[in-house]
Amino acid sequence: MLKKGIDRMSASAWTERAVTVLETIEQAGRTRALRALRVLDGRTALRDDRVVLLCASNNYLGLAHHPRVRAAAQGALETHGLGSTGSRMTTGHSALHEQLEIALAKHRGTDAALLFNTGYMANLAVMTTFAREGDVLFSDELNHASLIDGCRMSRARVVVYRHGDVSDLEEKLRVTPVSGLRIIVTDGVFSMDGDLAPLADLVRLKRAWNALLIVDDAHATGVLGPRGEGTAAHFGMAAHEIDLHVGTLSKALGSEGGYVAGAQTLIAWLRQAARPFMFSTALSPAVIAGAHAALHIAADESERRERMHSRARELRMALQARGFAASQGITPIIPVRIGDAGAALALSAHLDQMGVFAPAIRPPSVPEGTSRIRLTVTADHTREDVETVANAFASFASR
Ligand SMILES: *Cc1c(COP(=O)(O)O)cnc(C)c1O
């Protein structure tokens, strides 16, 4: 009886806390509603039985629905079943996983690569495996949440430098006492702004300070470089200039999963010690086979990448011509800065009415006062789609 009473009491205390948290989020205007979509291809989705123009997905090359990708996944599903049945250390490791790792390393130009279940987990793995107590992590202030969480989970001290600011980083490297080793960590392409890290300078600094340089290329994989190798290739740098490249299968490769590519010894260390690798069930063979097919298409069919880049240029120009603060840049991520969260939501709702799906991005995903519509383009978008989007923005301004 007593136990039952205690349970009920603790349950109500937790309910009270939950309600308080939810109310705080609500009052800050930050409640998120999940909206169910059925993505049809790289440019459209079905929402409430209505076809909308999708301008927010990370499916940059339109590969999630590619016939060869689907066929590869279906084939693996038939021969291997759905689940991988275990961790890579036990029963979950298959020839498909092994072959994809070899292909990913080859594509990047590194010795080796290791798969993780998500890019998020790959980042947690890298930060918690390599950084120790006494080490210092130098982290760009706009790094992805998974890198921030990885920094927090590591035992190292974290020093945040101003976004893309090489002199600030240089200064911080100079004044920060370090008993262990240094790590510099950055997004290659920043997820909310679509701009690039100053890689050549970061390589110079990492050499000068004997630091490990980690580049999260989630948005550069398949997108930048002649064959979609990533940010280093875009800058004409050899892959080994960067110690660890984090990539994802979940964006331009249209599948799921993350990976880390680098020198044999570092990858071996991850394979032996990274907890997100060891203590989670391996990715489904179907997901792996689909990603492998997508990797070939992404590498070989550069016309897809060119189409995506053309659409991105056209959309930037079309929005700027209509007076919108569309970012400069070279990636398919085109944030249109609005500032106020309410205004960004109103614009997003208007776009929605015009059949354009582009959610508002607001705090805590981006800093206060920088709410925006984050547009993305894919290889599947057409020139007419670009006009449709730009006109939907214009009709909001003149409403
Ligand atoms: C999306 C993203 C990730 C996470 O990758 P998932 O495979 O979706 O978990 C990591 N880093 C950056 C910069 C990202 O944009």
pLDDT tens by residue, 278-292: 999 999 999 999 999
Q: Which of 31-40, 121-130, 254-263 has the lowest mean pLDDT?
A: 31-40
Q: Is the pLDDT of residue 299 over 80?
A: yes
Cα(209)–Cα(22) distance, integer angstroms: 45
User: Which residues belong to the active site?
Assistant: 191, 219, 251
To 5 degrees, how large is the angle CA 102–CA 226–CA 142?
Answer: 85
Task: Give the model's pLDDT for residue 29.
Answer: 82
Q: Are 182 and 210 in contact (CB under 8 A)?
A: yes
Task: Give the model's pLDDT for residue 33.
Answer: 85
Q: Is the pLDDT of residue 216 over 70?
A: yes
Q: Is the pLDDT of residue 188 over 50?
A: yes
Task: Give the model's pLDDT for residue 316.
Answer: 97
Q: Which is nearest to 372 in space by CA: 343, 397, 331?
A: 343
Q: What is the mean pLDDT of residues 218-230?
A: 98
Q: What is the mean pLDDT of residues 95-105?
A: 98
How far is the centre of ligand 1, averaged over its atoms, from the C-alpha of 89 (Å)? 24
Residue with tokens 């607001």: 362
Q: Are 370 and 337 in contact (CB under 8 A)?
A: yes
Q: Is the pLDDT of residue 1 over 50?
A: no
Q: Is the pLDDT of residue 7 over 80?
A: no
Nearest CA owner, ligand 1 atom 6: 119
Cα(344)–Cα(29) distance, integer angstroms: 12
Instruction: Report helix angle 119-130 to 264-273, nearest 10.
Output: 100
Q: Which is nearest to 107 in space by CA: 287, 284, 259?
A: 259
Q: What is the mean pLDDT of residues 6-27?
A: 85
Output b/e per residue, 47-68; b: 16+ Cβ within 10 A. Answer: beeeebbbbbbbbbbbbbebee
Q: Which is nearest to 141 in space by CA: 112, 117, 163, 111?
A: 163
Q: Are 112 and 245 in contact (CB under 8 A)?
A: no
Give the predicted TM-score (pTM) of the model. 0.94
Burial of 167 (0-12, 13-18, 19+ CB in 10 A): exposed
Task: Give the model's pLDDT for residue 174.
Answer: 98
Mean pLDDT of the residues in the chain: 95
Nearest CA owner, ligand 1 atom 2: 218
How far is the centre of ligand 1, averaged over its atoms, from the C-alpha of 117 (Å)? 11
Q: Is the pLDDT of residue 6 over 60?
A: no
Task: List CB contacts of 18: < 8 A, sequence separation 6 or more.
Answer: none
Q: Report whether residue 248 contacts ligand 1, using a CB cutoff of 6 Å.
A: yes
How far is the centre of ligand 1, averaged over its atoms, from the C-alpha of 279 (Å)? 20
pLDDT band at 85, cuts 50/70/90?
Answer: very high
Pocket test for ligand 1, best of 250, 287, 333 (most atoms within 8 A of CB): 250
Going from the C-alpha of 215 to that of each of 109, 127, 323, 335, the distances in angstroms are 14, 12, 34, 22
Instruction: Report helix angle 95-108 to 285-300, nearest 10.
Output: 30
Task: Give the model's pLDDT for residue 35.
Answer: 86
- Helix, strand, or coil here: 152? helix
